[in-house]
């Protein structure tokens, strides 16, 4: 029997309440599929600033390094907006990505059949189904490059540097090609190679790695064109691989095609097996504590954890199927539609448990 150690980073805003639902669901799958889960909690983000003065205490990094996997709620809120840039809750998030070497961020954009009407994109454009996997490089590029302030011609100026090394591009490309092999064998690499030198190196490197994957059909899009293609013909995409900043922007866009940001999960993976799993939405401080937050993205993040880190694919399938079943009848307010029953955060967690 497998025994997993999971660290919970509940974070801020709605973080604690949605993570609590995901824990209920993970416990239910453990009971059903015959494994055990042991939890530990650690601080990240605003709650860590309040308790320790910094958004990412060393203790949090240590605990996460020893865990089989990490589940994160969300971080941030207006309370910490006045913190200096390097001490904001978001800096804690970037810090943990860097400290754990989580270079590969998987962001699936899928439409759940019962929620099709929620997409702002017309049915005939979406076509049959939407199932895109965005693979975003997460520990390099402009997010982690040299940055600073200086003076230019007597005026204050600021700069951030976009830089990628060949090994950084190679490893993210391989993650994307491997995923494409397990899906529909189509990979779109997104860059701005008509302007940026770092993008030209990105493209050359992805083309070289593609020789290891002769079965995968590779194409390249400039990021501006990709942003447009996502809206006019999202069905053309299978796997998309791109840099940190382009992936940040395109994954928000792709998530809106699915109509409900409260539904989408993500995985951040390192070279090893353990990873960090989190919903792609934020901490929604305006609705924190009201019992109306949608816990499904966090619950679906647990499904990704079971699939990618814990080798429990059947348990992952069970969660995803349970979510689809529950959605036919029950909705949290953010995805409510006439003819369905409105339920609270807690009720939604219970319904998913019962459907497993």
Q: How far apart are CA 25 and CA 310, in angstroms?
A: 15
Residue 311 token pair:
């080798």
Binding segment (CB under 5 A) for Mg ion, from list 30-38, 58-66, 240-248, 253-261? 240-248
Q: Which of residues 64-83 bind Mg ion (CB under 5 A)?
A: none
Rounded to the nearest whole angstrom, what is the least distance from the CB of residue 311 to ligand IPM in the complex? 26
Binding segment (CB under 5 A) for Mg ion, from list 2-10, 127-135, 177-185, 242-250? 242-250
Indicate the residue among 12 and 248 with the shorter CB distance to Mg ion.
248
Binding segment (CB under 5 A) for Mg ion, from list 139-147, 183-191, 243-251, 314-322? 243-251
Indicate the residue among 93 and 110 with the shorter CB distance to ligand IPM.
93
Q: Is 278 a binder of Mg ion (CB under 5 A)?
A: no
- Mark whether 252 is an active-site residue: yes
Q: How far apart are CA 262 and CA 298, in angstroms?
A: 9
Indicate the residue among 90 and 170 with the shorter CB distance to ligand IPM.
90
Q: How far apart are CA 224 and CA 221, in angstroms?
A: 8
- Mark whether 224 is an active-site residue: yes
Q: How far apart are CA 184 and CA 244, in angstroms?
A: 24
Indicate the residue among 276 and 327 with the shorter CB distance to ligand IPM.
276
Q: Is 191 a binder of Mg ion (CB under 5 A)?
A: no
CB 115 within 8 A of CB 286: no
Where does this chain bind ligand IPM (CB under 6 A)?
90, 93-94, 248
User: Quick one: what does residue 90 bind among ligand IPM, Mg ion, none, with the CB cut-off 5 to 8 Å set by partner type?
Assistant: ligand IPM
Binding segment (CB under 5 A) for Mg ion, from list 26-34, 144-152, 191-199, 246-254? 246-254
Nearest partner of 86 among 43, 124, 115, 54, judged by Cα:
54
- Mark whether 192 is an active-site residue: yes
CA quadruple 335, 341, 345, 351: dihedral positive or negative? negative
The SS3 of residue 308 is helix
Q: How far apart are CA 263 and CA 95, in angstroms?
A: 25
Rounded to the nearest whole angstrom, what is the least distance from the CB of residue 248 to ligand IPM in the complex? 4
Rounded to the nearest whole angstrom, what is the least distance from the CB of residue 15 to ligand IPM in the complex? 13
Pairing of strands 275-279, 265-269: antiparallel
Rounded to the nearest whole angstrom, what is the least distance from the CB of residue 31 to ligand IPM in the complex? 32
According to DSSP H, which parts of the chain are helical? 15-33, 46-52, 58-66, 89-99, 123-126, 166-182, 197-210, 223-232, 244-257, 296-308, 313-327, 345-355
Q: Which residue ranges make up the site for Mg ion (CB under 5 A)?
A: 248
Active site residues: 143, 192, 224, 248, 252
């Amino acid at each position: 029997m497998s025994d997993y150690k999971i660290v919970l980073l509940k974070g801020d805003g709605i973080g604690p309440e949605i993570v609590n639902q995901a824990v209920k669901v993970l416990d239910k799958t453990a009971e059903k599929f015959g494994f055990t889960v042991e939890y530990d909690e650690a601080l990240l983000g605003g709650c860590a600033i309040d308790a320790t003065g910094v958004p990412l205490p060393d203790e949090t990094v240590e605990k996460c390094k020893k865990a089989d996997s990490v589940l994160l709620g969300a971080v941030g809120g207006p309370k910490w907006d006045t913190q200096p840039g390097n001490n904001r809750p978001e800096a804690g998030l970037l810090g943990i990505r860097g400290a754990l070497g989580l270079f590969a961020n998987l962001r699936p954009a899928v439409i759940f059949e019962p929620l099709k009407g929620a997409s702002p994109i017309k049915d005939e454009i979406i076509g049959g189904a939407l199932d895109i996997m965005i693979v975003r490089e997460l520990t390099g590029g402009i997010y982690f490059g040299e940055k600073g302030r200086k003076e230019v011609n007597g005026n204050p100026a600021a700069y951030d540097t976009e830089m990628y090394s060949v090994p950084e591009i190679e490893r993210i490309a391989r993650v994307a090609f491997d995923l494409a092999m397990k899906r529909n064998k189509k990979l779109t690499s997104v860059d701005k190679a008509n302007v940026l030198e770092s993008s030209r190196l990105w493209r050359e490197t992805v083309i070289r790695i593609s020789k290891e994957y002769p079965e995968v059909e590779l194409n390249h899009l400039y990021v501006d064109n990709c942003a447009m293609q996502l809206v006019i013909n999202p069905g053309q995409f299978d796997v998309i691989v791109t840099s940190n900043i382009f992936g940040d922007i395109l994954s928000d866009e792709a998530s809106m095609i699915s109509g409900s940001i409260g539904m989408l999960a993500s995985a951040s993976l390192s070279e090893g097996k353990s990873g960090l799993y989190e919903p792609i939405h934020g901490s929604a401080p305006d609705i924190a504590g009201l019992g109306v937050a949608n816990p499904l993205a966090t619950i679906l993040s647990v499904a990704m954890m079971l699939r990618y880190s814990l080798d429990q694919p059947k348990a992952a399938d069970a969660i995803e199927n349970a979510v689809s079943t529950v959605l036919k009848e029950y909705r949290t307010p953010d995805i409510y539609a006439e003819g369905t029953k409105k339920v609270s955060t807690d009720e939604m967690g219970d319904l998913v448990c019962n459907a497993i």
